[in-house]
A = this chain, B = another copy of it.
Amino acid sequence: MNEIKGGVIAPKGYKATGGAVGIKQGIKDMAILVSDVPATAVGAFTTNVVKATSVLRNMDIMKQKQNIKGIVINSGNANACTGVEGEKANQQMAETLAECLNVPSEQILTASTGVIGATFPIEKVKNGIHMLFPNIGDTLEHGHMAAESIMTTDTYSKEVAVELKIGGKNVTIGGMAKGSGMIHPNMATMLSFITSDVNIKRELLDDILQESIQTTYNMVSVDGDTSTNDTIVVLANGMAGNTEITEKNADYEAFKKALHFINTKLAKDLVRDGEGATKFIEVNVTGAKTIQDAKMIAKSVITSNLVKTAMYGEDANWGRVLCAMGYSGIKFDTTKVDIIYHSAKGSIDLMIQGSPIVFDEEKATEILHEKEIIVEIKIQEGTEKATAWGCDLSHEYVSINGDYRS
């Protein structure tokens, strides 16, 4: 498997574009993604009881096992909590792209991100689709335009692509995603679109995705809020020409590994660019009784506002880490806990076997001054482990979210 340039347009048979259609006044706010042939599609969606109309429609289409020709995505308006009018508008959004492609609207997925509850500007969206559709293409630039157009408060676009050999054929996977607030375990506001030219049975693709999200998108947190619009979709159009993967063999494992790499990269990028984030934080928990225990502890630490502000302040306040472990709901023996911080500048033991270690504050400050910090937590309850990713909580986060809607 090699990482290559590009995003969603990297695999064979995909075209994309993006641009400004007036939802956000001069800022790129719409992307279109098209597959030359109807693609097998699987997805995962927000666990929030309140689901955007696009999410409900996409879930329904997935249930019908429709193959997918295109996806239209807008930023600037979430089309969530917009009632029957919003539902109609969402259907029209799909129909407009369907008309351009001359396919049934069931072959079109939609996704929206932005403010909740505001009237959806369907006329701008319809005009936008007509305006942008003629521009679709498969160059790096086309993929990049799409990735940029799904951003909200993201500061950079997230793209990734890999290629691998399956049955002697080149198979490619590409992806684009957006954050960057409301990112929290259980599919928080993130949109992630993955394309591949692999030929694979729908059920197997779904298995891979559902397993992969457990340790990728579901293990990142920006602010603990779970959005109404989270959507991850994987398309597989079979144009690589490999023999269809129909069982869990070596080809399956190779593809699974590659897709997981894509998801991991995108998930980590989401929190690296979390709203106002100045630091990327990885929490590794080992020695837990169960994977679930390890996850609960890791998530509790990565979500703690007090841990996050301490990281922002570059303060080795490991007591807050232990405290957050303690309210995770998981039982552990506090006399057997190790807490170690790592960065490119080295490592520092803060607690070993439940005893605080007298540490060199200067060294700690040097380590915490880095942009990427790893919090290593060892307990001695078992052999399971988990990793969560997050970011610090900064003044900028408050500024962004105190004045986001207006």
Q: Are B305 and A351 touching (Cβ within 8 A)?
A: no
Contact partners of A47 in chain B: CB under 8 A:
327
Complexed CA–CA distance, A223 and B310 (Å): 13
Closest to A333 in B: B49
Closest to A319 in B: B116
How does the 8 Å CB contact mask read for A307-346 relative to B, with 1 for contact and 0 for none?
A: 0011011010111101111111011101100000000000
Option from B225, B315, B335, B404 in Cβ contact (under 8 Å) with A323: B225
Contact partners of A305 in chain B: CB under 8 A:
223-225, 305, 397, 401
A18 on the interface (CB 8 Å rule)? no
Within 8 A of B (CB), among A36-82: 47-51, 78, 80-82
How does the 8 Å CB contact mask read for A258-285 relative to B, with 1 for contact and 0 for none?
A: 0000000000000000000000000000
Q: Are A393 and B398 touching (Cβ within 8 A)?
A: yes
A355-B83, A398-B309 given as contacts; is B225 within 8 A of A324 (CB)? yes
Complexed CA–CA distance, A48 and B306 (Å): 15
Q: Are B310 and A401 touching (Cβ within 8 A)?
A: yes
Complexed CA–CA distance, A305 and B182 (Å): 9
Within 8 A of B (CB), among A359-406: 393-395, 397-406
Nearest CB in chain B: distance from A27 CB, A: 19
Nearest CB in chain B: distance from A287 CB, A: 15
Contact partners of A78 in chain B: CB under 8 A:
319
Complexed CA–CA distance, A118 and B358 (Å): 9
Q: Are A224 and B304 touching (Cβ within 8 A)?
A: yes
Closest to A85 in B: B355
Closest to A325 in B: B50
Complexed CA–CA distance, A399 and B313 (Å): 8
Option from B50, B186, B323, B332 in Cβ contact (under 8 Å) with A322: B50
Q: Are B225 and A312 touching (Cβ within 8 A)?
A: no
Copies of this chain in its oligomeric complex: 2
Q: What is the interface of chain A mostly: helix, strand, loop, or mixed?
A: loop
A83-B356, A323-B227, A330-B49 given as contacts; is B117 within 8 A of A402 (CB)? no
Complexed CA–CA distance, A300 and B400 (Å): 21
Contact partners of A181 in chain B: CB under 8 A:
306
Q: Are A117 and B322 touching (Cβ within 8 A)?
A: yes
Contact partners of A356 in chain B: CB under 8 A:
81-83, 117-119
Q: Are A319 and B398 touching (Cβ within 8 A)?
A: no
A228 on the interface (CB 8 Å rule)? yes
Contact partners of A394 in chain B: CB under 8 A:
398, 402
Nearest CB in chain B: distance from A179 CB, A: 13
Contact partners of A324 in chain B: CB under 8 A:
225
Closest to A184 in B: B327
How does the 8 Å CB contact mask read for A219-246 relative to B, with 1 for contact and 0 for none?
A: 0000111111000000000000000000
Nearest CB in chain B: distance from A214 CB, A: 18
Contact partners of A81 in chain B: CB under 8 A:
319, 322, 334, 351, 354, 356
A223-B305, A327-B226, A395-B398 given as contacts; is B116 within 8 A of A322 (CB)? yes
Option from B223, B226, B323 in Cβ contact (under 8 Å) with A50: B323
Q: Are A309 and B228 touching (Cβ within 8 A)?
A: no
Given A48-B326, A228-B319, A394-B398, 6 more A-B residue pairs with CB atoms under 8 Å apart are A49-B328, A115-B319, A223-B305, A226-B327, A309-B397, A310-B402
Q: List, sorted by A's number, 5 A–B pairs whose CB atoms are closer than 8 Å.
A: A49-B326, A50-B334, A81-B322, A117-B322, A395-B395
| 8 nearest A-B residue pairs (beta carbon) | A116-B319, A313-B402, A50-B326, A309-B401, A226-B327, A117-B319, A48-B326, A49-B326
